[in-house]
Amino acid sequence: MAEIKKPVAKAAAPKAAEPKLADPIAATIDPASQEMIVRAQKMGIDTVFDRAVAMKPCNIGIQGICCKNCAMGPCRLPLPKGGIEGEDTRKGLCGATANTIAARNFIRMIAGGASAHSDHGRCVAEVFLSAARKETEAYKIKDINKLLQIAPHLGVAITVEKDGEVMDRDVDEIALEVAEKAMNEWGKPEGELLFAKRAPATLYEKWKKHGVVPRNIDREIVEIMHRTHMGVDQDYKNLMKQGTRAAIADGWGGSMLATDLQDVLFGTPYPLQSEANLGIMKEDHVNIIVHGHEPVLSEMIVAVAQKPEMIEYAKSKGAKGIQLGGICCTANEILQRHGVPTATTFLSQELAIITGACDAMVVDIQCIMQNLANVAKCFHTKLITTHPIAKMEQDNVIHIEFDEHYALEDAEKIVKMGIDNFANRGAEVMIPHQKCTQIAGFGVESIQYHLGGTFRGSYYTLNDNIINGRIRGIAGVVGCNNARTRHNEAHIQVVKELIKNDVIVLTTGCNGIACAMEGLLTPEAAAVHCGPGLAEVCEVVGIPPVLHMGSCVDNSRILLAATEVVKAGGLGKDICDIPVAGSAPEWMSEKAISIGHYFVVSGVYTVFGVTLPTSGAPVFHNHICKDYEKLYGGMWDIEPDPIKHAHLMIAHIDKKRKELGIDKARERVLMDMADRQALEG
């Protein structure tokens, strides 16, 4: 076989130009990140902020109209300057149109995102099965209430009839059956996704009518790869139909199962206090940062790091203790259940190492930049990969493969490695002082409690406040950072504009972290940033105006919260009737496209910032906007300007208020069921 040779430099290369560097102020709104970017540049270490300046994105790829699905391409179909007049004759070598290419690319992104969430869910389900079989000491069924709550949705009975008497079923038996039924959702040969029926009945019927109820999770993802292979599905509408099936299989399947099973294993989150930003790292402590998405290992790291003998061990090495911190959604997982502080967001991950105080960074899956290894090389930081599917090629990276059967031993090994590394720190420690208090850990259950009270724990109070106009509507603002836009700026501007206009915000992922870094996740933020109606509700109830609901897979909590709003009555019969809108102001990941699409087909008007890979195929773009609104009640939209972005969402919320007949703010009246039915009339 012909060997591909490495290029050999023949003559002395011309002197390289000075690398272009990012302007720290233009790169991020976060002062701690700015400080660390300056430091990295002084040390000659490049970060994503500099690389984004040096390398521009491909102008054709960004429009979604580059196809490389076979070796006759890549076929690139740029939109002519000034747009297309008359017939669009652009086609690839095989004849694929811009619409077909954009739709194929779009649903391949859905497949990437859905598989990431769902494979995460599968790993959790496997650990759950081990726990249910009692094969591991480290994991136990922690939240029995949650187990009993989800079991019926998987067709698992929680009671049993014996001698004519109805009795509670044995919890271990229920757990085992739940584990088996859950595992089945990934690859069962027939039937349909069981959780699809957790959606409001009207929505489920809509999915049924359009033939998009998923069969099982894996099948919908595999079918996307088949249909987008050269020479298979060549109708953008039919391609998107499959994208819809896979996205539902993500939001109402893989992600929802991940959230539920994690809650049963590790506990359903309830609000707790913590802190966010790089200032959570401590110079005199061993700093261990966990980063990625799966809480299965990080839960063990939290348990081990809290052990008195481990703290003593850290002290024996000259540290005052162990400081854990998180990045990305592993951060959100251990924040919401244990109050472990958040170090920073996705885009600033390299900067945690630039502090010189990161003794170990432990990564699992998703959103981990490969350049972490290069940055770690410049410091004493041990970079530890832990997942068999996520290794790094650089030789300074240590791989400690995590096995749930030896979970505590693995976690102990990792924590000890961090502690032992404390002594190897150089003199170059520089931790920014910025950090903010945050209240996180909201979920479907806690919103019910906080806004409903102990005696009337329900969504009635939330609905009442929407109906009487104190709360104008609900926004789900989620997603990543993107190096093509100023770090955290759009997140914060969109959220501030929404709460200023009395829209309560539910957040997950890196938007949640950005809001925490800005101090928006405290009840006190309401008086400063909210309109009078939302400020009053927050003050009375004692909640922040931005409710942090967890990690990326926890967007399923937002779907279920919206379903509870429908059930509580007075705001229509389907999610698309509620004054609700979705947003991902700084998205970058394929997972965001999958999330965006399951929001849309669940009935949510969803606006993305930055860009959408559809602009090169206007007919396809209109399909996922206008046609989808007719089909599912939700639609895609794109608006990079954060203030306009927020106002598109507010306009949609107002449109829904008008359709419901609640567009005139009214004095608060506690409504009974008859009043709500009259409104729905």
Name the residues that contact ligand MSK, by CB under 6 A. 293, 328-329, 346, 367, 479-480, 509-510, 551-552, 589, 591
Structure tokens at 513: 């972290």
Minimum Å distance from CB 624 to ligand SF4? Answer: 20
For residues 526 and 529, give the distance between their C-alpha atoms in angstroms, rounded to a whole number. Answer: 5
CA distances from 229 to 71, 99, 563 (A): 12, 15, 36
Shortest Cβ distance from residue 553 to ligand MSK (Å)?
8
- 378 by DSSP, 3-state: which? coil
Q: Does residue number 60 form part of the binding site for ligand SF4 (CB under 6 A)?
A: no
If the CB atoms of residues 21 and 70 are measured against ligand SF4, the closer one turns out to be 70
Binding mask 218-237 for ligand SF4 (x = CB under 6 A): ------------x-------
Closest CA to 124 of 601, 556, 589, 448: 556
Q: Nearest distance from residue 369's CB to ligand MSK, in Å?
A: 10
Query: How many other CB atoms are there within 10 angstroms of residue 361's CB atom?
Result: 28
Q: Could you tell me whether strands 75-76 and 66-67 are parallel, antiparallel, or unpaired per DSSP bridges? A: antiparallel
> Residue 652 touches which of ligand SF4, ligand MSK, none (CB < 5 to 8 A by kind)?
none
Determine if 96 is a binding residue for ligand SF4 (CB under 6 A).
Answer: yes
Q: Which is closer to ligand MSK, CB of 479 or CB of 569?
A: 479
Select from 29, 40, 45, 75 the one that contacts ligand SF4 (CB under 6 A): 75
Q: Which two tokens stand for residue 372?
A: 């972490």
DSSP conformational letter for 625: I
Question: Helix 328-338 vs helix 255-266: angle between axes, to the nearest 10 degrees?
Answer: 40
Given candidates 20, 68, 433, 626, which one binds ligand SF4 under the rule CB under 6 A?
68
Mark the segment that binds ligand SF4 (CB under 6 A) among 69-77, 305-313, 350-358, 514-522.
69-77
User: Considering CB distances under 5 to 8 angstroms, the limit depending on partner class, which of ligand SF4, ligand MSK, none binds residue 61?
Assistant: none
Angle at 448 between CA 157 and CA 547, to 5 degrees: 120
Name the minimum Å distance from CB 98 to ligand SF4: 10
The listed partner (ligand MSK, ligand SF4, none) that binds 523, CB under 5 to 8 Å by sort, is: none
Q: Phi then psi for 539, rounded to 5 degrees?
A: -65, -45
479 binds, among ligand MSK, ligand SF4, none (CB under 5 to 8 A by kind): ligand MSK
Among ligand SF4, ligand MSK, none, partner that 367 touches (CB below 5 to 8 angstroms by kind): ligand MSK
Select from ligand MSK, ligand SF4, none the partner in contact with residue 75, using the beta carbon and a kind-dependent cut-off of 5 to 8 Å. ligand SF4
- Given phi > 0 = left and psi -120 to 50 = alpha, else beta, which region is 95? left
Rank residues 69 and 485 by Cβ distance to ligand MSK and give the closer one: 485
Beta carbon nearer to ligand MSK, 479 or 603: 479
- The three-class DSSP label of residue 305 is helix
φ, ψ for residue 374, nearest 5 deg: -70, -40
Measured CA to CA, the distance from residue 298 to residue 328 in angstroms comes to 12
Of residues 273-312, those binding ligand SF4 (CB under 6 A): none
Shortest Cβ 37–ligand MSK spacing (Å) = 18
Q: How far is the CB of 479 from ligand MSK (least distance, A)?
A: 5
Of the residues 33, 69, 115, 330, which one makes contact with ligand SF4 according to CB under 6 A: 69
What residue has token string 């999330």? 595
Q: Are the C-beta atoms of residues 340 and 330 closer than 8 Å to each other?
A: no
Q: Which does 346 bind (CB under 5 to 8 A by kind): ligand SF4, ligand MSK, none?
A: ligand MSK
Distances (CA, A) of 448 to 197, 398, 461: 21, 44, 9
Q: In what order do the strands lie in the sheet with 322-327?
A: 397-399, 382-385, 360-363, 286-292, 322-327, 342-344, 272-276, 436-440
Phi-psi category of 594—alpha, beta or left, where left has phi over 0 and alpha has psi -120 to 50?
alpha
CB of 94 to ligand SF4, least distance (A): 3
Q: Which residues contact 323 (CB under 8 A, 6 or more apart)?
A: 280, 281, 282, 285, 286, 287, 288
In the complex with ligand MSK, the residue whose CB is nearer, 346 or 632, is: 346
**Residue 69 interacts with, from ligand MSK, ligand SF4, none (CB under 5-8 Å by kind):** ligand SF4
Does residue 476 contact residue 582 with C-beta atoms inside 8 Å? yes
CB of 479 to ligand SF4, least distance (A): 29
Residue 558 beta carbon to ligand MSK: minimum distance, rounded to whole angstroms:
13
The answer to whether residue 72 forms part of the interface with ligand SF4 (CB under 6 A) is yes
Give the residue carrying structure tokens 């950090």: 435
98 is an interface residue for ligand SF4 by CB under 6 A: no
Using CB under 6 A as the binding rule, whether residue 55 contacts ligand SF4 is answered as no
Q: In angstroms, give the least distance from the CB of 224 to ligand SF4.
A: 15
Looking at the Cβ atoms of 19 and 74, the one nearer to ligand SF4 is 74
Other C-beta atoms closer than 10 Å to the C-beta of 637 total 20
**Residue 514 sits in the site that holds ligand SF4 (CB under 6 A):** no
Instruction: Report how far residue 465's alpha carbon sits from residue 476's, in angstroms, rounded to the nearest whole number.
Output: 17
Short-list 333, 343, 345, CA closest to 489: 345
CA 166 to chain centre: 41
Is there binding between residue 160 and ligand SF4 (CB under 6 A)? no
How far apart CA 489 and CA 293 sit, in angstroms, is: 23
Instruction: Establish if 609 lies at the interface with ligand SF4 (CB under 6 A).
Output: no
Applying CB under 6 A, the residues found at the interface with ligand SF4 are: 67-70, 72-75, 92-94, 96, 101, 230
